Amino acid sequence: MKNLVTGIKSFQQQSYPENKSLFHKLREGQHPETLFITCSDSRIDPCLLTQTKPGDLFILRNAGNIVPPYGASNGGEAAAVEYAVTALGVQNIIVCGHSHCGAMQGLLNPDSLSALPAVAEWLNHAASTRRVVLDIHKNKTGADLHAAAIQENTIAQISNLKTHPSVASALAENKIKLHAWVYEFESGKVFAWDSQTNLFADICE
């Protein structure tokens, strides 16, 4: 906790004065262009990764960057998506998975979650991911299977997003674009899914 308080002091003494006009402007409201959906994992920082400032991203985080199909959950995911699309008018939704994701490891090994019943129940929303991985990538094992699950999960969430009325309407009017990314934090690379080829490629190349 001490390091957090030290961080706040540093923010107030350095970062805030340097960006004072931005923070004052934020009082007037928020106008993000992107809804960024990612994992709760402490190793991923959306703003650091994209070099964005406060007000640029509307961020939704949970274990496994999962968006349940509309009506399948009483959690806050549907509300966050609806607010971002309808009230804020975001132009992009990014689902960003990441390397070494513990949620995907648990999804592939449900017996390991016996002491985490809430996590196990939550991951039921990613059952389609598990089925796809075990069917399509059945010849893979270990790290390769885990990596496949991480990629397939981001794609599955794109499909789930389309079941949300606000997203479906925005897509029909060509007001929004959906993106599936995977961030590899050990290399700093981000891989984006191409829906035409069904492949992931380095977004910067």
> What confidence tens digit (pLDDT) does each residue in 192-205 have?
999 999 999 999 98
The verdict on residue 172 lying in a domain is: yes
The verdict on residue 19 lying in a domain is: no
The verdict on residue 20 lying in a domain is: no
Question: Confidence class of residue 75 from pLDDT cuts 50, 70 and 90?
Answer: confident
pLDDT at 146 over 90: yes
Per-residue pLDDT, 73: 77
pLDDT in tens, 165-200: 999 999 999 999 999 999 999 999 999 999 999 999
CA distances to 9, 53, 58, 110 from 98, in Å: 31, 21, 18, 20
8-state DSSP, 204: T
Per-residue pLDDT, 167: 98
User: Structurally, how many domains does the chain consist of?
Assistant: 1
pLDDT in tens, 32-57: 999 999 999 999 999 999 999 999 99
CATH code of the domain containing 156: 3.40.1050.10
Per-residue pLDDT, 5: 95
The verdict on residue 3 lying in a domain is: no
The verdict on residue 168 lying in a domain is: yes
- The residue segments making up the domain with residue 110 are 30-202
Amino acid at 82: E
H-only helix segments in 83-193: 102-108, 117-123, 127-136, 142-161, 165-172
The verdict on residue 25 lying in a domain is: no
Cα–Cα dist 157/64, whole Å: 10
pLDDT at 74 over 90: no
Strands 92-98 and 34-39: parallel
The verdict on residue 67 lying in a domain is: yes
The verdict on residue 10 lying in a domain is: no
> What average pLDDT does the segment 50-73 reach?
95
